[in-house]
Amino acid sequence: MRKFNMYQIDSFTKEKLTGNPAGVITNADGLTANEMQKIARELNNSETAFIFSSKNNMYDVHVRFFTPVSEVPICGHATIAAHYARAIENNLESCRIYQKTGAGILPVDIIKEQSDYRIVMTQGKIEFGDIINGIHKESLLSSLNISDKDLLENYPIQIVSTGHSKVMIGIKSLECLNTLQPNFNGLVNLSSIICCNGYYVFTINTQDSDPLVHGRMFSPAIGINEDPVTGNANGPLGAYLVQHQLVSHNNSLFTFKAIQGEALKRPGTIEVEVKIEKNEPEEVKVSGNAVIVFKSELVLN
């Protein structure tokens, strides 16, 4: 009999049953890819994180991430959840650890705050992909059931990645955002053409507002019609806003907060920090809190 520590954790929140739920297995050594996929399907969260022991001194842990239908290279909210669970289990002090992921070996900062923790995830390499124009833009707008007049001016629709690419789509109205009813089949079909499976639709408040951003993220091609709160959407968004000179900053750092999940009645807050060099985004971090909803033991033969 093999026994595994299994958690359900809500990330980017301190209130249970809000934010973004993730499954976590903290002692995943011995699990096969097929077993991990079945566990992720059983828990049926947007992602489940599996923590493996390190095999060398280049990293502290190896973390793999599965949606209910496929493995993905990295996941923001499941990274927060995984390291929150690990910190609780091991009663960690504030520290930096390195996790091996499908997006490379990346640092995670565990910040002890009284008897609780905040987790800071450094994301992967910033990459700016295609700007979506022409027939692909028409297909995207049709699938989102919006039109050109709904879009923010001077905000190109672009694929951006910090380890797991997303399409950035800026719109004018919070009301429009919260009433979106996408054609998910249309988004799935477009994903196979543009080679990007996530669509982050966002609005921008005035820069002195807190939060700056409200957003919704759709990834039906990987089995997630809508993700409540997405680190790997808001991180790339920060890089995008700096790259296109859409926000002011001090030429070294740009920070903002984003709220996501309101339309699903699972709101959560992400803090984003973009390091800037020569007026271009150099590194992205996202941080947030988490709360354990339940802990159990999974027993497998």
Q: Catalytic positions, please?
A: 47
* Residue 150 structure tokens: 């709904």
Beta bridge partners of 155: none
Q: Is 41 exposed, middle or buried (0-12, 13-18, 19+ CB in 10 A)?
A: middle
Locate 228 and state its tokens.
Answer: 């409540």
Residue 163 identity (one-letter amino acid): G
Element (H, E) at 64: strand 61-66
**Cα(22)–Cα(77) distance, rounded to whole angstroms?**
7
Task: Give me the amino acid identity at 127.
Answer: E
CA-CA distance, 284 to 271, in Å (whole number)? 11
Tell me if residue 175 falls in helix, strand or coil.
Answer: helix
**By C-alpha distance, which of 218, 222, 82, 233 is closest to 160?**
233
- One DSSP character per residue, 235-296 reads HHHHHHHHHTT-S---SSEEEEEEEE-TTTT--EEEEEEEEEETTEEEEEEEEE-EEEEEEE
Whether the Cβ atoms of residue 176 and residue 149 lie closer than 8 Å to each other: no
Rg, Å, the chain Cα set: 19
Q: Which amino acid is at 88?
A: I
